[in-house]
Structure 1
Amino acid sequence: MKKILIIEDETQIRNNLQLILEQSGYETITAADGQIGAETAKNQLPDLILCDVMLPGLDGYGVLSSLREDKITAMIPIIFLTAKADRLDQRYGMELGADDYLTKPFETNELLRAIATRLERRETFNQQYIEQGKHKKTLEKEVHTTQQKLDETAKISSLQAELLSKITEDLRNPLSNINMAIYMLKQAQSEEDSARYLMVLQEECAREIQILNEIENLQKLLTPENTKLLQRWKLIS
């Protein structure tokens, strides 16, 4: 049940408005002046406010300004009730943030239509706000997931760079020995020397093949899932 605050200093009008709204299915609360009305709005947080413009003490414009300055009550729809049909007064109220004006005397159906329209607009706004909040949370979750994937990719890239540097270093040693063995083989003076240098070449070629096989195995090993496992066992940082 929607709750409506009626701020009206004339008792008969206030009672009539309360009766009409309650018969139409609304919950009502009332205030007889602007100051009490503003305080009631902040305490009760109604779904909509009907507010007379000409009030003792704090007038309707003062009530409107007070509520619009408070972020908790800033979005509550306010419909002004006024005996003045001056367009300048209406323009002033709309500039302050009033949602609608009803000029006294007004028809009951006119009042109920204005209330229903403003409540419907507020409901639509609230729904959009909720949907935007859900969308924001979804985006934040996607961003977090993407960042995790980027972090994992960065770690894998870093590991691959370290391993590549280490493998490159490991490959250089056999290549150095191979180059040296080739040179010595060319200079060999006997079959015995040739056989010895040929054996060196075979051994170093075998080392190269072993290192290349290790590279292939490491490429298969470095997946995001395996990286997490290796980190868990503190095998990598």
Structure 2
Amino acid sequence: MKDPIYKILLLEEDITLIKKIQQLLTLHNYDIITCTSAEEGIFMSRQYRPDLIVSGVRLRGGSGFHFLMELRNDPTLQHIPFIFISGKEGKEDMRMGMNLGADDFLTKPFKSKELIMSIKSRLIRFTIFNIQNRDRKHTTIVSMPVIAPEIHNKLSKTEFRIMQMIAEGLSTKEIAQTLNISIKTVENHRHNISKKLNLTGHNSLIKYAIKNLTQQYRILS
């Protein structure tokens, strides 16, 4: 008898890689849904309710980090097991991905067996979790912001709001439009935030925001 068919959502900007992984997983009796952008990924997640998600770090029109953040902030999707796949430069990506709640992280090039074993392991663990909790009459998943104390202590309300928007993936232009201020003003705020938090280097503020403005989840019975 064949194993049950699980539904897997696969997000990756590389169409060639999508086809290879899709072919592999189909051979192992998985039902595969594919897309290339974070926006489409959220839509597909809500429409098809996959049992597991495999996502690249680099996606069209965004990043896998921002996709994962939106997924974990949606009470109807935040429980889905999540596996990141990334290029050789994956050490920083791995640390950030795991901080955001990824369940596993595979660095390209990875072996087919590694991906299959990771998927099976996450699905088995999630199935056991569901069995253990299916008899609970009331189960609530609550999110608890993980915010470094220095952020609130050192930043003004406006600076903190801008930090949140940076963590959500908004560009300087989008932040300016949302807050109805000039791009120059946003750039000044970003400079001041970096200075207050002793951040240096390209993209250091973005990495800091994503790492420190994340969510943890607790299941309440």
- Counterparts in 2 of 1:111-130, with a 5 A limit? 111-130=115-134
TM-score normalised by L of structure 2: 0.58
| Residue 62 of structure 2 corresponds to residue 81 of structure 1 | no
RMSD of aligned alpha carbons: 1.4
TM-score normalised by L of structure 1: 0.54
Shift of 1:85: 4.2
**Equivalent residue number for residue 5 of structure 1:** 9
Query: Residue 135 of structure 2 is aligned with which of 122, 131, 138?
Result: 131
Which amino acid in structure 1 is aligned with residue 65 of structure 2? Answer: Y
**Aligned residues of 2:9 and 2:54 also touching (Cα < 8 A):** yes
* CA 114–83 in structure 1, closer or farther in 2 if over 3 Å, else same: same
Shift of 1:35: 1.2
The Cα offsets for residues 178-207 of structure 1, whole Å up to 9 and x where unpaired, read as xxxxxxxxxxxxxxxxxxxxxxxxxxxxxx
| Residue 37 of structure 2 corresponds to residue 33 of structure 1 | yes
Query: Structure 2: how far apart are the matches of 1:47 and 1:104?
Result: 23
Q: How many residues align structurally?
A: 134
Query: Structure 2: how far apart are the matches of 1:128 and 1:120?
Result: 12
**Equivalent residue number for residue 103 of structure 2:** 99
Superposed structure 1 runs of 4+ greater than 6 Å apart: none
Larger relative contact order, structure 1 or 2 (CA cutoff 8 Å, min sep 6) = 2
Query: Residue 90 of structure 1 is aligned with which of 74, 90, 94?
Result: 94
| Residue 80 of structure 2 corresponds to residue 56 of structure 1 | no
**Aligned residues of 2:26 and 2:32 also touching (Cα < 8 A):** yes
* CA 60–133 in structure 1, closer or farther in 2 if over 3 Å, else same: same
Shift of 1:58: 2.1
In percent, how many aligned pairs have the same letter? 37
The Cα offsets for residues 6-65 of structure 1, whole Å up to 9 and x where unpaired, read as 001111100111110000010000001121112111111100001000112121001100
Shift of 1:86: 3.9
The Cα offsets for residues 162-181 of structure 1, whole Å up to 9 and x where unpaired, read as xxxxxxxxxxxxxxxxxxxx
The Cα offsets for residues 133-165 of structure 1, whole Å up to 9 and x where unpaired, read as 49xxxxxxxxxxxxxxxxxxxxxxxxxxxxxxx
- Which protein is richer in strand relative to its size? 2
Which amino acid in structure 2 is aligned with residue 31 of structure 1? Answer: C
Query: Structure 2: how far apart are the matches of 1:76 and 1:100?
Result: 12
* CA 31–91 in structure 1, closer or farther in 2 if over 3 Å, else same: same
**Aligned residues of 2:69 and 2:100 also touching (Cα < 8 A):** yes
Determine helix, strand or coil for the equivalent of 2:106. strand
- Which protein is richer in helix relative to its size? 1
The Cα offsets for residues 73-109 of structure 1, whole Å up to 9 and x where unpaired, read as 0000110010044433212111111110010111011
**Equivalent residue number for residue 65 of structure 1:** 69
Query: Structure 1: how far apart are the matches of 2:90 and 2:8?
Result: 26
Q: Give ranges in structure 1 of 5+ residues lacking alignment.
A: 135-237
